[in-house]
Amino acid sequence: MKITTQKVVNGWQLYTLTNEHKMSVSILDYGGIITEINVPDRHNNLKNVVLGFKNYADYEHNLNFLGALVGRVAGRIQDARLTIQGLTYELDVNEGTHHIHGGSNGFHQLIWASTPFQTEEAVGVILRHTSPDGEGGYPGTVDVTVTYTLTNNNELQIDYDATSDKKTALTLTNHSYFNLSGNPATAIDQHHVTVNSDAIIELDKDLIATGKMLDVTNTPFDFRKGRLLADGIQSTFPQNIIASHGYDHYFLFNDEHRGSIQVRDDISGRVLSINTTHPGVVMYTANCLDEGLELTGGPSIKYGGVCFETQASPASLQYENLPTILLDAHVPYEKQTVFTFFVAE
Q: 98, 99, 175, 191: which one is catalytic?
A: 175
Q: How far separated are the first and last CA of the chain, in Å rounded?
A: 26
Residue pair 107/180 in contact by the 8 Å Cβ criterion: no
Q: Is 99 annotated in the active site? A: no
Which residue type sits at 113?
A: A
Residues in the chain: 345
Say whether 175 is catalytic.
Answer: yes
Q: Cis peptide before 81, with omega less than 30 degrees from 0? A: no
Q: Is 229 within 8 Å of 247 (Cβ atoms)? A: yes
Q: HEC profile for 188-253? A: CCCCEEEECEEEEEEECCCCCEEEEEEECCCCCCCCCCCEECHHHHCCCCHHHHHCCCCCEEEEEE
Active-site residue, selected from the candidate residues 135, 155, 202, 309: 309
Residue 12: C-alpha distances to residues 93, 111, 327 (Å): 28, 8, 31
Residues 240, 245, 249: CA angle, nearest 5 degrees: 45
Catalytic annotation, residues? 175, 309
